């Protein structure tokens, strides 16, 4: 063995010893370094570099953003509770691995025709629903068709508009034909709406029962309140070490944080950033602060006055001081945005586009050009949108005064925000989770006919490029297209993107916290003990852009 490979193996072993690397990655890296599978296995187990997972315990998780109007229909998934619940009790064709690559879920493999217009998915014969029914190609086809056609109300309809036919070849092979090539099609299958549900005899799906094939089955629950889940013994994937998981809706940031401090929950999503520093002083609490491709957006209806004037839209973009907001509201827990929804964590990132900065004088000039001097607008927000969302809107209002703009802040109720405010009021704050590729993000939120085109933006050139980029297999040409699309969104679009927010979660000491930050922002998390049971241990990885549930006992990635 070469000296270089020997040094690499030593580094791999050291990473395993410190809990910085999972068993799966340890095996992959060891094989790449020249070890045999037998030797690598012996190195892992013989030297006690990592302990095998132990089952047991109950994980109690306090989650922000859950509504009484939520449903089990995957086409309506919107709140964080339903997105997390969907990944916990249901399966998908594919999923995002811990290293950011595309991995299998119920599909064990997938292949494409030469022009990427036809895709074939091999389905595992080991997957089963919680009801005991085997998962087959019929369930996959019905689940995808749920989001297709003129009658569907699914938010994922835009992702599948190019699909012309879905057929099966036996019980465990699904074939999908597209109007045109789409190199990202298997990535689309990770979208949280595209959960696999049991098929009915008429080709529809049974979503009402809450039946799923994910690692945990629902024992009981009430939307907007709480869900109790237990391990699905027929789970076809890795993980699911806890006996039970309790998902508790805690929209109020004070109630959520109090529950963490008092030990009523083991972990919470979205720590109140104003008190983050105080929380970090508690020896029983660990704060997880992870960069992401999630974003806060401020969409303006481009077909509604005064936002139908591009100069007005750009004036409002110039009237926001992103640096001050990140410093005073986010306490540094964010990456500066540039008014296009393409994140540095996504491929084809156009890093040469000039940053738009705070310029109230230029904003005044644009308003004068538009004949909109003395502009007054209202912006809606709520505490549940993100930590500090209301304070952020208030600060933006103060910043905009220097440009002669009166921004009135409307504080909306937390419950029902995404059903009653988003897509209904012409200017508001929105929290977006990450998507794995720019095509997915742009198709969902910027395409002319997308159900979630939150700014009602119509740009013929943008939509032309979107279709071209889907089928372009040359990475350099594709990158050029995405750059032009980003510029169009930045200079003509109706969405202000002040920042890409970090995911800041809190966990008690009985839940493992990142021992190190690995390359590309990836963190390996070891859970040391679960409350109320034996101490299961496992590794879970996090990459930028993944909405991360610390302690959720599975190697699946929860993506928003």
Place of tokens 């001097």: 373
Please tell me the predicted confidence (pLDDT) of residue 16. 57
The average confidence (pLDDT) of the chain is 86
Lowest-pLDDT range, 94-103, 223-232, 272-281, 290-299? 94-103
Structural domain boundaries in the chain: 3-46, 91-188, 219-290+503-542, 295-501
282-326: per-residue pLDDT in tens?
999 988 888 888 899 999 999 999 999 999 999 999 999 999 999
What is 125-190 written as a DSSP string? TT-B-TTSPBP-HHHHHHHHHTT-STT---TTGGGGTTEEEEEESSTTEEEEEESS--TTHHHHTT
- Note whether 306 and 312 are within 8 A (CB): yes
Q: How far are the Cα atoms of 10, 62, 100, 294 from residue 253, in angstroms, in the given order?
A: 45, 10, 30, 19
Yes or no: say if 329 and 322 are a contact pair by the CB < 8 Å rule: no
Choosing among 2.40.37.10, 1.20.1730.10, 3.40.190.10, 3.40.1110.10, the CATH entry for 219-290+503-542 is: 3.40.190.10
Residue 273 clears pLDDT 60, i.e. is over it: yes
Among residues 348, 305, 318, which one has the least CA distance to residue 491? 318
Residue 432 phi, psi (nearest 5): -110, 135
Higher pLDDT, 4 or 257: 257
User: What pLDDT band is residue 102 in, cutting at 50, 70 and 90?
Assistant: confident
Asked if 436 contacts 96 with a C-beta cutoff of 8 angstroms, the reply is yes
DSSP class of 12:
H
pLDDT tops 80 at residue 15: no
* pLDDT higher than 90, residue 255: yes
Count H helices, E strands: the chain?
16, 22
pLDDT at 161 exceeding the cut of 70: yes
Confidence of residue 71 (pLDDT cuts 50, 70, 90): very high
Measured distance CA(17)–CA(220) in Å, rounded: 39
Give the mean pLDDT of 493-520: 75
Q: Identify the weakest region by mean pLDDT among 287-301, 359-373, 416-430, 538-552.
A: 538-552
Per-residue pLDDT tens digits for 193-242: 999 999 999 999 999 999 999 999 999 999 999 999 999 999 999 888 88
Q: Does residue 180 contact residue 112 with C-beta atoms inside 8 Å?
A: no
DSSP class of 211: -
Rounded to 10°, the helix 360-370/389-400 angle is: 70
Spell 475-489 as b/e; 16+ CB within 10 A means b.
eeebbbbbbebbbbb
Distance CA 431, CA 433 (A): 7
Query: What is this structure's pTM?
Result: 0.76
Fold match between domain 91-188 and domain 219-290+503-542: no
- Report how far residue 408's alpha carbon sits from residue 390's, in angstroms, rounded to the nearest whole number: 12
Q: What is the pLDDT of residue 3?
A: 54
Q: Which fold has domain 91-188?
A: Dipeptide-binding Protein; domain 1 (3.90.76)
Task: Identify the pLDDT of residue 524.
Answer: 32
pLDDT band at residue 26 using 50, 70 and 90 as cut-offs: low
Q: Range with the lowest mean pLDDT among 35-39, 341-345, 362-366, 463-467?
A: 35-39
Identify which of 294, 289, 354 has the alpha carbon closest to the alpha carbon of residue 517.
289
Of residues 340 and 521, the one with the higher pLDDT is 340
The pLDDT value recorded for residue 378 is: 98
The residues pairing with 120 across neighbouring beta strands, listed in sequence order, are 111, 175
Q: What is the CA radius of gyration of the chain?
A: 24
pLDDT of residue 169 exceeding 60, the answer is yes
- Residue 6's pLDDT band, with cuts at 50, 70 and 90, is low
Q: Report how far apart, in Å, the C-alpha atoms of 268 and of each of 15, 56, 153 are.
A: 28, 20, 31
Is the pLDDT higher at 457 or at 509?
457
Residue carrying the six token digits 């209002």: 397
pLDDT class for 52, splitting at 50, 70, 90?
low
Q: Give the model's pLDDT for residue 25.
A: 63
Examine the pLDDT at 79 and tell me if it is beyond 90. yes
- The model's pLDDT over 111-146, given as tens digits with 9 standing for 90+, comes to 999 999 999 999 999 999 999 999 999 999 999 999
3-state secondary structure of 435: coil
How far does CA 372 lie from the centroid of its chain?
37
Percent of the chain with pLDDT over 70: 81
DSSP track, 382-412: -TTTSTTHHHHHHHHHHHHGGGT-EEEEEE-
Check residue 55 and give its pLDDT.
76
In this prediction, residues 456-484 reach a mean pLDDT of 95
295-501 sits in which CATH class? Answer: alpha beta
Burial tier of 374 (Cβ tally within 10 Å: 0-12, 13-18, 19+):
exposed
d(CA 504, CA 291) in angstroms, rounded, equals 9
Computed from CA positions of residues 275, 281, 282, 284, in that sequence, does the dihedral angle turn out positive or negative?
Answer: positive
Write the pLDDT tens digit of every residue in 519-547. 333 333 333 233 333 332 323 333 223 33
Measured CA distances, 504 to 95, 337, 392 (Å): 23, 18, 17
Name the nearest CA neighbour of 102 among 196, 214, 183, 186. Answer: 186
Rounded to whole angstroms, how far apart are CA atoms 560 and 138? 27
Q: Parallel, antiparallel, or unpaired for β 267-268 and 58-63?
A: parallel
The pLDDT value recorded for residue 520 is 30
Q: What is the pLDDT of residue 367?
A: 98
Assess whether pLDDT exceeds 80 at residue 177.
Answer: yes
């Amino acid at each position: 063995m070469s000296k270089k490979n020997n040094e690499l193996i030593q580094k791999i072993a050291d990473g395993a010893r410190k809990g910085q690397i999972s068993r799966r990655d340890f095996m992959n890296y060891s094989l790449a370094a020249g070890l045999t599978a037998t030797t690598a296995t012996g190195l892992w187990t013989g030297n006690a570099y990592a302990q095998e997972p132990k089952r047991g315990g109950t994980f109690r998780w306090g989650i922000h953003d859950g509504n009484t109007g939520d449903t089990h229909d995957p086409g309506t998934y919107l709140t964080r509770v339903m997105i997390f619940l969907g990944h916990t009790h249901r399966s998908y064709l594919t999923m995002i691995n811990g290293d950011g690559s595309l991995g299998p879920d119920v599909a064990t493999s997938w292949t494409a025709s030469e022009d990427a217009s036809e895709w074939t998915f091999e389905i595992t014969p080991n997957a089963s629903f919680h009801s005991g029914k085997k998962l087959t190609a019929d369930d996959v086809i019905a689940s995808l068709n749920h989001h297709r056609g003129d009658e569907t109300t699914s938010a994922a309809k835009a992702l599948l508009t190019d699909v012309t036919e879905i057929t099966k070849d036996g019980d465990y092979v699904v074939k999908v034909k597209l109007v045109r090539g789409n190199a990202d099609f298997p990535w689309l299958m990770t979208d949280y709406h595209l959960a696999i549900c049991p098929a009915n005899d008429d080709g529809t799906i049974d979503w009402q029962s809450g039946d799923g094939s994910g690692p945990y089955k629902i024992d009981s629950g009430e939307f907007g309140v709480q869900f109790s889940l237990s391990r699905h013994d027929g789970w076809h994937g890795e993980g699911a070490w806890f006996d039970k998981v309790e998902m508790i809706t805690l929209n109020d940031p004070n109630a959520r944080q109090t529950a963490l401090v008092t030990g009523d929950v083991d972990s919470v999503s979205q720590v109140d950033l104003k008190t983050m520093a105080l929380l970090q002083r508690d020896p029983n609490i660990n704060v997880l602060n992870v960069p992401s491709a999630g974003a806060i957006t401020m969409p303006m209806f481009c077909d509604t006055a005064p936002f139908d004037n591009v100069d007005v839209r750009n004036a409002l973009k110039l009237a926001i001081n992103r640096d001050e907001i990140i410093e005073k509201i986010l306490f540094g827990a964010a990456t500066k945005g540039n008014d296009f929804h393409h994140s540095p964590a996504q491929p084809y990132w156009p890093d040469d586009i000039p940053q738009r900065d705070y310029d109230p004088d230029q904003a005044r000039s644009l308003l004068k050009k538009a004949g909109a001097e003395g502009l007054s607008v209202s912006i809606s927000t709520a505490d549940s949108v993100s930590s500090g969302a209301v304070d952020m809107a208030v600060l933006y209002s103060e910043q905009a005064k220097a440009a002669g703009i009166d921004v009135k802040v409307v504080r909306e109720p937390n419950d029902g925000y995404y059903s009653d405010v988003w897509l209904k009021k012409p200017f508001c704050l929105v929290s977006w989770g990450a998507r794995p590729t720019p095509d997915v993000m742009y198709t969902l939120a910027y395409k002319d006919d997308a159900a979630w085109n939150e700014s009602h933006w119509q740009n013929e050139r943008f939509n032309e490029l979107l279709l071209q980029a889907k089928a372009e297999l040359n990475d350099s040409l594709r990158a050029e297209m995405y750059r032009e699309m980003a510029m169009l969104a930045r200079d003509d679009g109706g969405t202000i993107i002040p920042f890409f927010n970090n995911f800041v979660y809190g966990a008690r000491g009985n839940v493992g916290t990142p021992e190190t930050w690995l390359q590309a922002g990836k963190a390996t998390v070891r859970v040391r003990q679960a409350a109320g049971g034996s101490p299961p241990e496992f590794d879970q990885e996090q990459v930028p852009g993944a909405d991360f549930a610390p302690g959720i006992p599975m190697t699946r990635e929860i993506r928003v």
